[in-house]
Amino acid sequence: MTRVNWQQRRTMNAAEYNEALEQLGLNIASAGRYLGRTYRTSARYARDQAVIPPAEALLLRALIAKRIVPIVPPPNGGW
């Protein structure tokens, strides 16, 4: 049986997105800010109402695989 590397999975469904957020300690709003998306788009990902782009799926999986804690920008671009 071949083991699938995190880099080989380019798609992500809502359940996987929600699990990734939980593992990273993010909520929908903070995930949206981290990914450069609106709260609404992040919520659509979480409800399986929008396709999660492959780059975002890979980024979330890389953060988990490498045990990197994301630094989330504050609301309203306070940096």
Give one DSSP letter per residue of the chain, joined into a string.
Answer: -PPPPGGG-----HHHHHHHHHHHT--HHHHHHHHT--HHHHHHHHTTSSPPPHHHHHHHHHHHHTTPPP-PPPGGG--
Mean pLDDT of the residues in the chain: 92
Taken in order of first residue, the domains within the chain and their CATH numbers are 10-68 (1.10.260.40)
Residue-level pLDDT at 9: 83
Predicted TM-score (pTM) of this structure? 0.87
Model confidence pLDDT, tens digit, residues 14-25:
999 999 999 999
Model confidence pLDDT, tens digit, residues 58-77:
999 999 999 999 999 898 76
